[in-house]
Amino acid sequence: MVSLGNDSLLCCLIGAIILVSQQYYISTSRELSRLLGVCRAPVIQHFAESLSGSVSVRSFDQENEFVNTNYNLSNDFSRIQFHIAGAMEWLSFRLDILSILTFAFSLIFLICMPYGIINPGIAGLAVTYGLKFDGIQTSFIWILCNLENKIISVERILQYSSIPSEPPLIVEDNRPDHSWPSKGEIDIVNIQVRYGLTMPFILRGLTCTFPGGKKTGIVGRTGSGKSTLIQTIFRIIDPAVGHIFIDGTDISTIGLHDLRSRLGIIPQEPIMFQGTLRNNLDPLDEHTDEEIWEVLHLTNPSSDSVTFFIVLKEYFID
């Protein structure tokens, strides 16, 4: 005869097995959910890039390249989904077996009870409810596991919120004059720049002066740090050591907006944004058409380029 003590012991044992399986599954599925998030972003990003740049992709005859990259990224994403489905099946299988075992032992317990201890109607009702136990237990465990997986999104938000933010856009106590920089002299004093605390220095103790009102060329092999220097002047990365002075003002002491709005940059890669040429030249709409024309003429006053600009004016700007 199956005693009540033995049956409760069995229930505890089955409960413990469920908990162990759940913990085993959760540590795997948590990592898989993280990987899924990491693999999802490139698919979306590549798709959006391909859509917005479809004209350029076609004009350079790179459709196959983009289609292949898309396949590879989708495969990486699907691979993780496949593993997630596998892990889910692993847990489902074990939960089903444990539910069936619990149900079977409950039935044996009911059957083995001495006659008259339990009302047959109540026993029948217990068996009917026991049939549903399988589904209830499985969905309960699933909800717990899903909750833990979804909490990863909160974890990512926490990670992002702990990323150090940029220095202030405006430092009220130290705002440069309206006319700054009037000369454009850049004085670099012993700067050392690196992209991360654990990374090697790219610029090591650079000291030089770019005189104002002159054209200065910086040459160097690829990877020598030319773009890094420009990024340091714009304070996209701050130097670990040293200072940069523009017309005598230490750029590390003023706000980012004050600094960046007073400097201009023509990027190495020719990039144009969607919109008219005028939008691209003056995205913040701060200058008049006449001022823009003046600058265009100053950049290259040869007769050919002037004709080109006049054509542009007729078709794009107005």
Ligand X SMILES: Nc1ncnc2c1ncn2[C@@H]1O[C@H](COP(=O)(O)OP(=O)(O)OP(=O)(O)O)[C@@H](O)[C@H]1O
Question: Binding residues for Mg ion, per CB under 5 A?
Answer: 227
Nearer Cβ to Mg ion (4/219): 219
Examine residue 222 and tell whether it contacts ligand X (CB under 6 A).
yes
Cα dihedral 258, 263, 266, 267 sign: negative
Contact 212, 240 (CB under 8 A): no
Helix (H) or strand (E) holding 131: helix 120-161
The least distance separating ligand X from the CB of residue 229, rounded to whole angstroms, comes to 7
Please give the residue whose beta carbon sits closest to Mg ion in the complex. Answer: 227
Report, in Å, the least distance between residue 233 CB and ligand X: 12
The listed partner (Mg ion, ligand X, none) that binds 224, CB under 5 to 8 Å by sort, is ligand X
Instruction: Report, in Å, the least distance between residue 225 CB and Mg ion.
Output: 8
Residue of 8, 155, 148 whose CA lies nearest to 91: 148
Q: Residue 171 or 237: which CB sits closer to ligand X?
A: 237
Q: What phi, psi does 243 have (nearest 5°)?
A: -140, 155
195 contacts ligand X (rule: CB under 6 A): yes
Q: Which CB atom, from 218 or from 311, has the smaller least distance to ligand X?
A: 218
Establish if 228 lies at the interface with ligand X (CB under 6 A).
yes
Pick between residue 226 and residue 313 the one whose CB is nearest to Mg ion.
Answer: 226
Can you tell me the distance from the alpha carbon of 41 to that of 76, in angstroms, rounded to the nearest whole number? 11
Is the Cβ of residue 100 or residue 236 nearer to ligand X in the bound state?
236
198 interacts with ligand X by CB under 6 A = no
Instruction: Tell the smallest beta-carbon distance from residue 194 to ligand X (Å).
Output: 8
Pick the closer one to ligand X by CB: 222 or 303. 222
Asked if 223 is part of the footprint of ligand X (rule: CB under 6 A), the reply reads yes
Q: Could you give the CA distance from residue 41 to residue 35 in angstroms, rounded to a whole number?
A: 10
Q: Kindly provide the b/e burial profile for residues 88-115, where b requires at least 16 CB atoms within 10 angstroms of the residue's own CB.
A: eeebeebbeebbeebbebbeebbeeeee
Tell me if 106 contacts ligand X by CB under 6 A: no
* Residue 200 near ligand X by CB under 6 A: no
Q: Which residues contact 191 (CB under 8 A, 6 or more apart)?
A: 203, 205, 206, 207, 232, 239, 241, 242, 243, 244
Number of neighbours of residue 188 by Cβ within 10 angstroms: 20
Amino acid found at 123 = A
Select 198 or 268, whichever has its Cβ closest to Mg ion: 268
Choose from Mg ion, ligand X, none: what does 176 bind? Cβ within 5-8 Å by kind.
Answer: none
Element (DSSP H or E) covering residue 204: strand 203-210
Q: Which stretch in 47-55, 79-87, 170-178, 216-224 sits in contact with ligand X by CB under 6 A?
A: 216-224
Residue 202 contacts ligand X per CB under 6 A: yes
225 is a site residue for ligand X (CB under 6 A): yes
**How many other C-beta atoms can be found within 10 angstroms of the C-beta atom of residue 63?**
12
SS3 249: strand
Count residues near ligand X (CB under 6 A): 11
Q: Which is nearer to ligand X, 139 or 224 (CB)?
A: 224
Residues 38, 39, 40, 42, Cα dihedral to 10°? 100
What lies within 8 Å, CB to CB, of 208 at 6+ separation is 188
Among residues 226, 243, 262, 313, the one that binds ligand X under rule CB under 6 A = 226
Binding mask 268-297 for ligand X (x = CB under 6 A): x-----------------------------
List contacts with ligand X (CB under 6 A): 195, 202, 220, 222-228, 268
